[in-house]
A and B are shown apart, each in its own frame.
Chain A
């Protein structure tokens, strides 16, 4: 595949006469009209690269196609330097040359209704060219350039999934997110800051919490910009940036803060253009004059425990759940993994629990269960679960389920299991035998009866569950 760029003269010609020429983008299936109007070949060969195709527009939504194109374009044009990729001639060449038909289909020009001349012409300019002299504005609005730049900005060569950051951002409202995260705020050019932003978005995604693009993402970006007015964001760590955004969004969710309001005509222009062009626009700001808007109490920067999040309306990722096993009349506790946690399989009962709420019942393997209570697990609990997983995986590969494994599957947390383990290891019968080594039911019952008269409540609870385990296994 030959990559062509568009001659500067040809770009100047089309852009200067766009109020006469924009109609070709609606009417002409091929780009032959450009040469006819310009008077000579408007393109020059730039480089030869292996063939590639952009995302199919028939098989997915426009947002999903743009999302895929971020990866496709950056993967295939990774040898472009940032300097080359900020050149309008390259992207004008691709949009008006190699990918002219694709671009027309992407923006539905064959079927699009004509509206006002100014609006229609302006939309063509920003999609097929750079809409003004500001390169950054241009490449975050051009139909193809913005995909390459988002791919490049989110690409992480050190991660096995090079596009994990992009996956976290997701395809929904991609154009608006691109505007809010990458275009409106230059701080996202710093990879540490961008990682912090993506980790914050992941924090909520992992817990099944949907963020509103405007109320949460845009608001938290404005907040970060305001914070950057009084301190240098570039010197903060990934964790500190994550913390700032997570806390802010949690506060917004709890109604403690609303969006930061700035009286700015450009914001109105932004809304207007966004609605007219399906693309976002805002003045590129970098912490200018916004420092006094709000101060940040840096002294209170502590790790968020996750408990501050609003109580989920239904059981979702990262929740603890108390479930009543109606047959055994016992309450079991489950800890649902985070969304991105692929380190262990979900138990069938955990899958059943997703989306339920207090009081709801369900049947599983002939048993009837009822949700008694649930809430968000703390970060500490979730981290604790991570620690356990390796052991858990190893043990689950064995067919024999021992008592401790059974306890885990029943949803006991590690602290309780460890306590039971301690009791079992320290208390032996007269013959020096551990409870777990006893085979005979009678001996076990005798041992337990003897201990019950001198043991604590917790130890007696151990025996209760051990008997249940024996029953289950038999």
Chain B
């Protein structure tokens, strides 16, 4: 769950509305540790609104952390009155994106609700906050639990080469690319795919294969990302590339996607300069 573009029949403290003239409600998640079975997440809650703080202290409201992974129908809420909370997320119950929302929720009906920081629009308005009302919220960055992809087998490749079945022998189709949530897909003729399967494990041939299939695929990917990277930032391959560049001390978005290097350079470096290696390996390939 992520709260956006929602209209509430009562004032809500959040970034999207001006129901309150000042103050804020923030919840910051942090992954403390992660192993094969669990991910420990902590939540640091900060609330700058004395009126709401008082309601929580008196038991009229509480902090609620909403955790949901729609991929696996996992949905739960944590209730707390404390500024800090932590949760052991069972990795077997989630897969990929985990949405986190922090909220302040009314535990009971609050008649004649008043708050010093309410917008002037609420002057002279007799407010009743219903039970379970979301009085404040903060959408947190999503967690991404990636390890599950390998649960069934070790198929870690970011690329998938898929054969087109031709309508007849004369049909000739260009190589095409697409980006889905898990993999970068490369569509080739069925015969091309057969050849790819036959040679993909040949070490000498690998730079050639990378040059003719992966360089254009990654070029396609980079063009798409420079156009709108946000559409892909939860994809498995995006997260893998982000992690790869982070290890190099670079930010994938700032330094690579929006960096000054041309795409051709980025892609060749990513594949460890396969074009030159292809020519250097030609003798060996012919010999084979």
Contacts and interface: CB of A to CB of B under 8 A. Distances in A.
* A and B associate in one complex: yes
A82 B165 contact: no
Contacts of B64: 232, 234-235
B160 interface: yes
Contact of A186 (B7, B10, B68, B131): B68
Interface stretch (B21-29, B151-159, B207-215, B220-228): B151-159
A292 B8 CA distance: 7
Given A9-B161, A9-B162, A16-B187, A236 B1 contact: no
B148 interface: yes
A86 B72 contact: yes
Closest 5 CB pairs of A and B: A81-B92, A298-B130, A189-B75, A231-B132, A82-B72
A281 to B, nearest CB: 16
B165 A20 contact: yes
Interface stretch (A282-290, A359-367, A415-423, A438-446): A282-290
Nearest to B153: A44
A8 interface: yes
Contacts, number: 153
A236 B131 CA distance: 9
A299 B92 CA distance: 40
Interface in A430-470: none
Contacts of A186: 1, 68, 70, 73, 75
A230 B72 contact: no
A298 B160 CA distance: 53
A84 B152 contact: yes
A205 interface: no
Interface stretch (B42-50, B178-186, B278-286): B178-186
A106 interface: no
Interface in B182-200: 182-183, 185, 187, 190, 193-194, 197
Given A17-B163, A234-B75, 4 more contacts: A8-B183, A39-B193, A84-B148, A299-B130
A404 interface: no
Contact of A12 (B66, B75, B162, B165): B162
B268 interface: no
A13 interface: yes
A149 B181 CA distance: 22
Interface size bracket, A side: 35 or more
Contacts of B131: 231, 298, 301
A231 B152 contact: no
Interface in A1-17: 5, 7-9, 12-13, 16-17
Contacts of A5: 152-153
Contacts of B194: 39
A288 B165 contact: no
A18 to B, nearest CB: 10
Contact of A229 (B6, B72, B162): B6
Interface in B92-149: 92-96, 103, 105, 107, 109, 128, 130-134, 148
Nearest to A37: B165
B132 A8 contact: no
B242 interface: no
Nearest to A138: B71
A85 B151 CA distance: 10
B86 interface: no
A291 B7 contact: yes
Given A9-B160, A288-B6, A291-B6, A83 B133 contact: no
A292 B7 contact: yes
B6 A12 contact: no
A396 interface: no
Interface residues of B, number: 58
A287 B6 contact: yes
Given A9-B161, A16-B162, A82 B132 contact: no
A232 to B, nearest CB: 5
Contact of A153 (B73, B105, B197): B73
Nearest to A14: B162
Interface in B39-84: 64, 66, 68, 70-77, 79
Nearest to A153: B73
Given A12-B162, A81-B93, A189-B73, A298 B7 contact: no
Interface of B: 1, 4-10, 64, 66, 68, 70-77, 79, 91-96, 103, 105, 107, 109, 128, 130-134, 148, 151-153, 155, 160-165, 167, 180-183, 185, 187, 190, 193-194, 197
Nearest to A187: B75
Contacts of A229: 6-7
Contacts of B1: 186, 286-287
Contacts of B182: 8
Interface of A: 5, 7-9, 12-13, 16-17, 20-21, 37, 39-40, 44, 46, 81-87, 89-90, 133, 135-136, 149, 153, 182, 186-187, 189-190, 229-236, 284, 286-289, 291-292, 295-296, 298-299, 301
A412 B75 CA distance: 48
A133 B180 contact: yes
B164 to A, nearest CB: 7
A232 B161 contact: no
Contacts of A12: 160, 162, 183, 185
Given A9-B161, A84-B151, A298 B94 contact: no
Contacts of A232: 64, 66, 77, 103, 105, 132-134
14 contacts: A8-B183, A17-B165, A46-B152, A81-B93, A82-B74, A83-B95, A87-B95, A87-B151, A190-B76, A231-B130, A231-B134, A235-B77, A288-B5, A298-B130
Nearest to A140: B73
Given A82-B94, A235-B64, A90 B6 contact: no
B73 A230 contact: no
A235 to B, nearest CB: 5
Nearest to B95: A83
B109 A299 contact: yes
A182 B92 CA distance: 20
Nearest to A192: B77
Contacts of B155: 7-8
Contacts of B9: 230, 291-292, 295
A186 B69 CA distance: 10
Nearest to A88: B182
A17 B164 contact: yes
A135 B151 CA distance: 16
Nearest to B111: A299
A332 B288 CA distance: 100
A234 B77 CA distance: 7
